[in-house]
Amino acid sequence: MQDKLQNLRNAMDSTTHKENHFTEVQKNNIREAINFEVNKKNRKPRKYVIYGLTAAVVTIFALLISTELIITSTNNGTFTGGSNQVLIDEWEVRNEYEKNDKVLFSLYPDPALTAGKPYGYIFSFTEPFKTFEGKELAIYAQHYDGERIIVLAPTKITEPSPGYTGLERFTHTFEVPVGGLWKFEVYLDDQFYGDVIMSVREKTVDNKLSLPKTIPNYVQESDFAAIDWERKAVEFGDRGIIGNENKSGVIGADMPTLNGQKWMWHLWGVDNAELTVVGFHKETQTIHQVLYNGPGGDSYWTRQAVGENNGADAHMPSNIALPKKGEWAFLLYTNDELFDILVYDINE
């Protein structure tokens, strides 16, 4: 064996391998490479390394997801998360809702559609009437900025549209408070059915009320802008008074009124005051003189309210007749100033 090694050394010395051809740096690199290969074969992966890598991957993934959500929120101005996340392309104007390449319904609003006033809408459903019969149909409106209102409370469907076999002409009148993009969502038995997107014009300054010539001069157009249609009159006390507690109320407001009715007006905080009543119909935006002197009698704006009654400081009996059903606001004036506003739903 020694002879063979000696012969190998002699042979290498006689070739290009004679003398030193590797620097110390190169020698160290070669040694480290050899040691790395040996150690690599002998060692096993450590659990904490795997756990560390897993945590790193999860962290990176979470950062990517959160970054995506932030971008989405910034681009849209709104972020609700989950299935309610608002996407820009969801707010493109469309009057049809399509599912599985089939149009389920279309919406046809009044061409003059403007915020702040009631307008008629026609929902044209394509599915057969049995799809809706006996179920509750509800419609909600959501503004692009997030405001959501009920425009049709759940209503049981019992018959098709007049003159049709289905709901080809389901009509409803309502108003939206502000202009812009509105999403009208249809629900059937509390289950989402479909939606459409409408663009509603902003309120215009030329929508001026027409004040009757005989109306008292202290009644101002700006008074009607103060009507809060959400503040409906409520029943209080034990005498069936419906109104705004400790301010004003009426006995008789819950009785059929379109063909005439007796109302007893009650006021708190005033006594022996002249009471002026101005009726305002929301849907038509019209002002009405609603008090009158019995069958065939003249109508009037103002009458004296006197004496305590039913806990109120003053009261006034009257006959009242309204020309049409709907939402009504009654503006009450005492001593030539706006005193209170009563809001009622008059349906019969």
pLDDT at 196: 96
Query: Span 39-62, mean pLDDT?
Result: 49
9 and 1 in contact (C-beta within 8 Å)? no
Query: Span 39-51, mean pLDDT?
Result: 48
85 pLDDT higher than 70: no
CATH of domain 221-346: 2.60.40.3830
What is the pTM for the complete model shown? Answer: 0.44
81 pLDDT higher than 60: no
Q: How confident is the model at residue 50 (pLDDT cuts 50, 70, 90)?
A: very low
For the chain, what is the total number of helices (H) and then of strands (E)? 4, 20
Cα–Cα–Cα angle for 139, 140, 142, nearest 5°? 150
Q: pLDDT of 292-308, one tens digit each?
A: 887 667 889 999 998 89
pLDDT at 9: 54
Q: Percent of the chain at pLDDT above 70?
A: 72
Q: pLDDT of 179-236, one tens digit each?
A: 889 999 999 999 999 999 999 987 754 456 788 889 999 999 888 888 898 899 999 9
Report the distance separating Cα 57 and Cα 31, nearest Å.
34
34 pLDDT higher than 70: no
Cβ atoms within 10 Å of 140's Cβ, excluding its own: 17
Query: Span 167-173, mean pLDDT?
Result: 94
pLDDT at 115: 87
- Mean predicted lDDT score pLDDT of the chain: 79
Residue, of 258 and 84, whose pLDDT is higher: 258
How is 32-82 classified by DSSP, letter by letter?
HHHHHHHHHHH----HHHHHHHHHHHHHHHHHHHHHHHHHHHHHHS----G
DSSP assigned state of 153: E
Quote the distance between the C-alpha of residue 131 and its chain's center.
26
Residues in the chain: 348
89 pLDDT higher than 80: no
328 pLDDT higher than 80: yes
Which phi and psi angles does 12 have, rounded to 5°? -70, -35
> What are the residues whose beta carbons fall under 8 Å from the beta carbon of 73, sequence distance 6 or more?
79
Tokens of 33: 């490479």
H or E segment and range at residue 11: helix 2-13
Q: How confident is the model at residue 66 (pLDDT cuts 50, 70, 90)?
A: very low
Residue, of 261 and 218, whose pLDDT is higher: 218
Residue, of 140 and 46, whose pLDDT is higher: 140
Q: How confident is the model at residue 59 (pLDDT cuts 50, 70, 90)?
A: low
Residue, of 278 and 2, whose pLDDT is higher: 278
Q: How confident is the model at residue 142 (pLDDT cuts 50, 70, 90)?
A: very high
55 pLDDT higher than 90: no
Q: Which of 123, 103, 121 is nearest to 112 (CA)?
A: 121
346 pLDDT higher than 90: no
Q: Which residue shows structure tokens 């910034």?
A: 74
pLDDT at 28: 57
Which phi and psi angles does 144 have, rounded to 5°? -60, -30
Cα–Cα–Cα angle for 139, 141, 142, nearest 5°? 140
Q: pLDDT of 118-136, one tens digit each?
A: 889 999 999 999 999 999 9
266 pLDDT higher than 70: yes
Please give the CATH topology (third level) of the domain spanning 88-200.
Answer: Immunoglobulin-like (2.60.40)
Which contacts qualify for 189-196: CB closer than 8 Å, 24 or more apart? 189/135, 189/136, 190/136, 190/138, 190/154, 193/97, 193/104, 193/105, 194/97, 194/99, 194/104, 194/105, 195/97, 196/94, 196/95, 196/96, 196/97, 196/105, 196/106, 196/107
How is 275-316 classified by DSSP, letter by letter?
EEEEEEETTTTEEE--EESSTTPPEESEEEEBS-BTTBSEEE
38 pLDDT higher than 50: no
Report the distance separating Cα 104 and Cα 69, nearest Å.
32
